[in-house]
Structure 1
C-alpha cells in the first residue's frame, strides 16, 4: 500500500512538468523575433478576476522565455485597477482586502523578473485620492496612461487589454 501511494505521489508531482514539456510552441507567430514587447492595459477592478489574469500574464512571460524570446512587459494600470495597487486597502470592501493583498504579492513577484515595468495612471488614481507614495513599491505614477499606450505602441509594443 505504501508503494502504491508513493508511486501515485510521484506521478502526481511529475504530471505538471510533463504537461509543460509537451506544450506546443508558437514558432510561426514569433519567427524572427528576439524580444516580446507587450503593454498590459489593465483596467479590471475586480480582485479575483485580476488574480486570474496575472496567472496568465506569468505564464505568457514563461512561454516567451521557453521559446527564446526576451520578455519586455509594461503594465499600465488605469480605471478600477488603480484601486487595487494602493498600499493601503482601507478603501476596499472587506471581502476584497485579502485578494488585493494577494495581488500585491503577485505584482511584487513579477517586478522581480527581468523586463518588467509598471505604471499607474494619475487620472485614475486621483479618483481614489492616491499619489505616488500611496502605490505599492515599484509602480510608477504617470500622468496619463493613454499617452503611455500611444508611446509604447510607437516603440513596438503590442497592447493587450486586461478588463
Structure 2
C-alpha cells in the first residue's frame, strides 16, 4: 500500500512540475537582462536555396522576438558565397521552376526585413565569382566591395557576429 501511495505521490508531483513548466513563459529574459539594444551582424553563406529561404524567415522572427521582449535590434545581414545567386531577381528558368516557392519566399523576406530597418549587404566579390548581374540584386539590398571587409568593419563597430551556414 505504501508503494502504491508513493507512486501516486511521485506521479502527482511529476505532473505538477510538468504543468508548472508549461505554465512558465518562454522567453530570453536571462540573456537579455539589462539589454536595451543589440548590435548584430549575420554572416550568411548557404549553398541551398531552401535553407536560405528558411533562415531569412528565422532572422525576421528573431528581429520581432527582440522587439517583443523590449529590445531594439540593430541588425546587418552580409551575404557571401553562393548565397548571392538566390538573391537575384533573374534566375535560370529551370532553377526558378524547381525552386519557385523558395525564391519567392526569399524576395518577400528581403522586402519585409528592409521594412523592419534591417541592413542587407551583398558581397560584390561573390556576385562576380558566381556570375550574378549586380543589377538583379533587389534595391532593398546594398552591394559592398568585399563581404569579409564588411564583416570586419561591423564587428569593429561593436556588432556581434552571428554566423549561419
TM category (shorter chain) comes to 0.7 to 0.9
8 Å CA contact 2:82–2:126 kept in 1: the answer is yes
1:88 aligns with 2:56: no
Q: Deviations over 1:81-113 (max 9, x none)?
A: 100111111277241244212211111111111
Q: TM-score, normalised by structure 1?
A: 0.79
Summarize the Cα distance change of 1:23–1:149 in structure 2 as closer, same or farther, 3 Å threshold.
farther
Q: Deviations over 1:118-151 (max 9, x none)?
A: 0000110012333432201211110111111111
Find the structure with the greater CA-based Rg.
Answer: 2
Aligned counterpart in structure 1 of residue 112 of structure 2, from 106, 109, 123: 109
Please identify runs of 4+ aligned residues in structure 1 that moved more than 6 A: none
Aligned-pair RMSD on alpha carbons?
2.0
Q: TM-score, normalised by structure 2?
A: 0.78
Q: Separation in 2 of the partners of 1:69 and 1:91?
A: 42
> Gaps spanning 5+ residues in structure 1: where?
1-20
Q: Separation in 1 of the partners of 2:65 and 2:58?
A: 10
> Gaps spanning 5+ residues in structure 2: where?
1-22
